[in-house]
Amino acid sequence: MDNTTIKGETVESKSITMKLNTYSKLNEKIKASKVADGPSVNISQPENIENKNSYKVTVLTYLPDAVLSKVENNEGLELDKEFVYLNYVGINPVQFMGKDGKYTTLQGREFRFDYNCEVEKDKIKEYFLCYLQFSYTINDNQYADVIWVRDENEDPETDRGTVTGPSDLPPPTTL
C-alpha cells in the first residue's frame, strides 16, 4: 500500500466494536535513526455526547521498508491486505511509575499494530510513517483506566508501545 488511504471497515473484537476511520502509509521513507521508539497515540473525548462509550484514537507509527509476511493474528482491522492489522488484545494490567518512584497498577485497554517482518531490526535502514485513526465502542460494562497501542512485529525484534488515557485524566506520571 503506497500512499493509499483505507476507510470504513468495522470489526467486533472481544468486548468492543472497532471502526477504521482512516489509515494511510506515506511514500516518503524515514531513516531508522530518526524513527521514534514507539507509536504516538492520542485518545479523544467521547465522539458522541449521547454515547459515552465511544472513543476516537489517532496513532502515528512506523512500518519497516522491508518485505512483510502474512500476519497470524488477523481478528482486528485489516490495514494492508493480509500484512498489517490493528488488533484488540483486551484489558490487561499495566504498571506506571509515579513521581514518587513507586509503581501503581492500572487496567489498560491494549491494541496492537501488528505486522510480520523477518528482517532483523538492526538491518532495517528505513521506515514508512503510518497514520491511523480508529474509533471503538465498548459493548460491555468493563472500563479501563488507560489505553495503549503497541507496535508489534510478530517476528520477535520489535515490541514497543505508548500508554495514554483520555485527555480529561491527569497523565500517568502524576500518580
Global confidence as pTM: 0.78
Q: Is the pLDDT reported for residue 21 higher than 90?
A: yes
Query: Regarding predicted confidence, which is higher, 51 or 1?
Result: 51
Structural domain boundaries in the chain:
5-164
At residue 78 the predicted structure's pLDDT band, cuts being 50, 70 and 90, is: very high
At residue 96 the predicted structure's pLDDT band, cuts being 50, 70 and 90, is: confident
Report the C-alpha gap between 108 and 144 in whole angstroms. Answer: 5
